[in-house]
């Protein structure tokens, strides 16, 4: 990781771009346009803070499990880091990202074992930093990982928590949720409360983890301590954020569309499946904004296979005009709360008034969700909306730390696999942890630095 970071920082113009971008941030602190304007980021710049030294930098971390090939049982878990102080255009290009490592194997990695070397690397970068040569001058730069983004499933594994359908699945508060009927089975629902549940803190998570380890039983949804808590500066309730791509687009929005268009709901007042062709033809007539690279395909027969970017275009630009006079007014008005709330939090120049409005819109959306639809729709993704504005206040707009930054979904077949093979050649792949009854990983455990070959089932 140090070598990759050094190579990036010493590349022509990168160090200057970092310094320029940081120095041009507005000092009025009244609006939020990027992660550098977030409340928590600005705290680091205060006298005595980590970023008071202008040579220091910060990372955001992203990880997710993806299948090695379609329908493969073998999955890859890449861990990427991006440099927050680069201007967005450079920040999100592939050549400026650090690929810390990739785990491969059946199922999921034992996260604490997988991420322990990462925590060691990050500790070294935080304490000692690295020397970089910028225009014949040696500069010492230290780095800190300030944001970690992942979907709910990965987050539960990484943070040693219960999954999103378990009791106390929220990372930010102690709402236990309740079990409700969903189809032929059950699921967990998080009812909206006028007074927010007690928040989680670094301290109460640590004490729950210690109690869980001692008793062998989960406490408030916590199974054990996450290796990330070994980073002295890291507080999971602050530094782990909610990814809107998974939570809103592939979560809530997709669920709403299945309620509206799936014939299973034909008796419901919100069902509009019979008018789906009408909606599709309205979309066709809309002149899209010039910056949209991907227009949504037809809803009819397709929306279940939409990519996240299609859901994003539909949410922000097409859905409200297309659903007007088709979705009953009360449902359309309610849905528009989600559209506007998300739109505000994706913006540039988000003011305090914008933050308050977005929070109100999203809370009103959640409060009415089960009244208009059903209890089962208020899962953890919907509940997270009450915590979303806080994430933006702390770390800037949703786009600055969403999983979109890696276009991971588009990389599955190309980039990740090509990087995977490069990693094999470079010996930077993290060894697979053997599962019970599987022999193929045991040799790797004994010889963790040996080159790992892919396992095909
Ligand atoms: Zn919560």
Q: Where are the domains of the chain?
A: 2-159+231-241+414-446, 161-225, 245-400
Return the number of other C-beta atoms located less than 10 Å from residue 169's C-beta: 23
Give 369 Cα–ligand 1 centroid separation in angstroms: 16
Give 118 Cα–ligand 1 centroid separation in angstroms: 28
Looking at residue 400, its pLDDT comes to 94
Give 367 Cα–ligand 1 centroid separation in angstroms: 14
Give 222 Cα–ligand 1 centroid separation in angstroms: 14
pLDDT in tens, the chain (457 residues): 888 999 999 998 999 999 999 998 867 778 999 999 999 999 999 999 999 999 999 999 998 877 776 666 778 888 889 999 999 989 988 889 998 888 888 878 888 988 999 999 999 999 999 999 998 899 999 999 999 999 898 899 999 999 988 999 999 999 999 999 888 889 999 999 999 999 999 999 999 999 999 999 999 999 999 999 999 899 999 999 999 999 999 999 999 999 999 999 999 999 999 999 999 999 988 888 888 876 788 999 889 999 888 999 999 999 999 999 999 999 999 999 999 999 999 998 999 999 999 999 999 999 999 999 999 999 999 999 999 999 999 999 999 999 887 654 345 555 555 655 565 555 445 444 433 433 333 333 333 333 232 222 2
pLDDT in tens, 301-347: 889 999 888 999 999 999 999 999 999 999 999 999 999 999 999 99
In this structure, what token pair is assigned to residue 168? Answer: 């106390």
Give 176 Cα–ligand 1 centroid separation in angstroms: 9
Looking at residue 449, its pLDDT comes to 32
Let me know: does 58 contact 85? Beta carbons within 8 Å: yes
Give 198 Cα–ligand 1 centroid separation in angstroms: 9
Give 408 Cα–ligand 1 centroid separation in angstroms: 27
Give 352 Cα–ligand 1 centroid separation in angstroms: 22
Give 250 Cα–ligand 1 centroid separation in angstroms: 19
N-terminal to C-terminal alpha carbon distance within the chain: 30
Give 286 Cα–ligand 1 centroid separation in angstroms: 38
Give 400 Cα–ligand 1 centroid separation in angstroms: 22
Give 414 Cα–ligand 1 centroid separation in angstroms: 36
Give 165 Cα–ligand 1 centroid separation in angstroms: 13
Give 330 Cα–ligand 1 centroid separation in angstroms: 27
Give 135 Cα–ligand 1 centroid separation in angstroms: 48
- Pairing state between β 143-150 and 57-63: parallel
Give 259 Cα–ligand 1 centroid separation in angstroms: 24
Give 437 Cα–ligand 1 centroid separation in angstroms: 37
Give 152 Cα–ligand 1 centroid separation in angstroms: 13
Give 172 Cα–ligand 1 centroid separation in angstroms: 5
Let me know: does 143 contact 129? Beta carbons within 8 Å: yes
Give 194 Cα–ligand 1 centroid separation in angstroms: 13
Give 381 Cα–ligand 1 centroid separation in angstroms: 10
Residue partners of 157: CB distance under 8 A and separation at least 6: 108, 109, 111
Give 98 Cα–ligand 1 centroid separation in angstroms: 31
């Amino acid at each position: 990781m140090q070598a990759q970071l050094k190579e990036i920082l010493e590349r022509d113009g990168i160090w200057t771009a970092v310094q320029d971008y940081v120095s041009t941030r507005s000092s009025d602190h009244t609006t939020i346009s990027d992660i550098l304007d977030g409340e928590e980021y600005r705290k680091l710049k205060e006298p005595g803070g980590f970023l008071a030294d202008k040579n220091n930098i910060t990372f955001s971390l992203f990880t997710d499990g993806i299948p090695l090939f379609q329908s493969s049982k073998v999955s890859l878990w890449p861990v990427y880091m991006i440099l927050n102080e680069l201007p967005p255009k450079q920040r999100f290009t592939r050549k400026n990202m650090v690929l810390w490592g990739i785990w491969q194997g059946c199922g999921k990695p034992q996260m604490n074992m997988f991420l322990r070397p990462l925590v060691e690397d990050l500790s070294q970068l935080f304490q000692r930093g690295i020397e970089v040569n910028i225009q014949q001058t040696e500069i010492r730069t230290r780095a800190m990982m300030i944001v970690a983004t992942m979907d709910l499933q990965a987050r539960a594994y990484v943070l040693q928590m219960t999954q999103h359908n378990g009791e106390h699945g929220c990372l930010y508060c102690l709402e236990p949720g309740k079990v409700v009927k969903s189809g032929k089975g059950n699921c967990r629902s998080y009812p909206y409360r006028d007074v927010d549940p007690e928040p989680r803190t670094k301290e109460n998570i640590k004490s729950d983890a210690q109690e869980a380890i001692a008793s062998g039983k989960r406490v408030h949804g916590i199974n054990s301590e996450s290796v990330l808590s070994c980073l002295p500066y890291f507080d999971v309730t602050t530094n782990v954020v909610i990814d809107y791509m998974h939570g809103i687009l592939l979560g809530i929005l997709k669920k709403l569309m299945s309620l509206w268009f799936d014939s299973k709901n034909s008796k419901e007042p919100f069902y509009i499946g019979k008018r789906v062709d009408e909606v599709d033809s309205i979309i066709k007539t809309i002149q899209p904004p010039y910056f949209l690279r991907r227009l949504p395909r037809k809803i009819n027969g397709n929306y279940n296979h939409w990519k996240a970017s299609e859901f994003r275009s539909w949410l922000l630009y097409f859905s409200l005009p297309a659903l007007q006079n088709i979705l009953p007014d009360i449902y359309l008005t309610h849905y528009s709360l989600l559209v506007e709330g998300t739109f505000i939090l994706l913006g540039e120049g988000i003011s305090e008034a914008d933050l308050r409005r977005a929070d109100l819109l999203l809370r009103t959306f959640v409060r009415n969700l089960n009244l208009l639809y059903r209890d089962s729709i208020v899962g953890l993704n919907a509940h997270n909306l009450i915590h979303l504005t806080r994430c933006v206040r702390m770390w800037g707009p949703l786009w600055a730390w969403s999983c979109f930054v890696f276009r991971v979904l588009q990389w599955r077949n190309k980039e990740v696999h090509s990087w995977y093979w490069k990693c094999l050649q470079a010996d930077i792949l993290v060894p697979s942890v053997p599962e019970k009854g599987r022999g193929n990983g045991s040799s790797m455990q004994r010889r963790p630095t040996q080159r790992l070959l892919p396992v095909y089932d």
